[in-house]
A and B are shown apart, each in its own frame.
Chain A
């Protein structure tokens, strides 16, 4: 158990819908990272927040957005969902901005 929690574990929704994925980092960690893992794309870095502010951006679509709240939990919002958005979404956290990241169990999103 990494100490990072993600909810929900599974999510099934229809194309065009909007969903919110939630992540609680390890106690004391200030950075939160979001990754997408699909069968054909591997593990893709989406975005990083550090203490409430956006710190780094990867291959995140404009239909996706994220934020980190004062209590340091983070949410990833996915809108206008497409079939291709079906994937595992992982959240990770770290104390600062180091590469020693601890990953949650992931949320499996299925878009039908």
Chain B
């Protein structure tokens, strides 16, 4: 399985862009990068995913490097409600089918 590496924590000022990096240097050609977040002990929330092109939706933008070994999730105008743990996940397949591996994630604190 491709593994991901994220900084354990980051701070961001309210109203500024939050840029959360993720390293996935062993990613395979057909593996997608997914981002989820978890606010306190709520169920994780899907944010965005991509394969090789940059993606944008109403929540965030995902920038994937050309070699696909790293990516950055961008929250363009962070608010206090964006304080959460952000997980970068690479979807892999094994003999039993789809398997998700959540790492420890990045704890983002948005400061007033």
Contact = CB atoms under 8 A, between A and B. Distances in A.
Given A42-B104, A99-B49, A4 B96 contact: no
A57 B98 contact: no
B98 A56 contact: yes
**Range class of the A interface residue count:** 20 to 34
A62 to B, nearest CB: 15
A55 B43 contact: no
Contacts of A88: 41
A84 B98 CA distance: 26
A105 B98 contact: no
A81 B80 CA distance: 39
25 contacts: A35-B102, A42-B102, A42-B104, A43-B44, A43-B87, A43-B102, A45-B99, A45-B101, A55-B96, A88-B41, A90-B43, A92-B44, A97-B97, A97-B98, A99-B32, A99-B34, A99-B98, A100-B34, A100-B49, A101-B46, A102-B46, A103-B43, A105-B43, A106-B43, A108-B41
